Structure 1
Amino acid sequence: MKVSVSNEFCHGHAQCHAKAPEVYALDDEGFIGAVAQLDVPPGLEEAARLGAAACPERVLSPVE
């Protein structure tokens, strides 16, 4: 599984990280970083979905 990231719309609320820190690492400024897509480690798919759903701007889209 992967997660598509639309960085230009991220406002740094860090709700993804609050729900799934093992999937969504943040940079020093509290943003997900300049990645277009994250690889989700096996077994963390549900955490990735929960973190994506917590994003107020909906910048994260799980790709099954």
Structure 2
Amino acid sequence: MRQVILYRDEDGYWIVECPSLKGCLSQGKTKEEALTNIKEAISGYISALEEDGLPIPEENFETFLVVV
């Protein structure tokens, strides 16, 4: 299980990234498509790490809301 951040860019696409896996991100025209795509990206990222014998980073991401 991984936490992801989902937000809309200036072109209207949904961007989704997994902060605990540096550089692991994807996008989609809809939220659902973006979430499906990031699941595939996370799976591929972890598979590549395993194939290379590299450690899989632990989930260590926290979110907070900050009032300004």
TM value normalised by structure 2: 0.27
Bigger relative contact order, structure 1 or 2 (CA pairs below 8 A, ≥6 apart): 1
Q: Which has the higher helix share?
A: 2
With the length of structure 1 as denominator, give the TM-score of the two structures.
Answer: 0.27
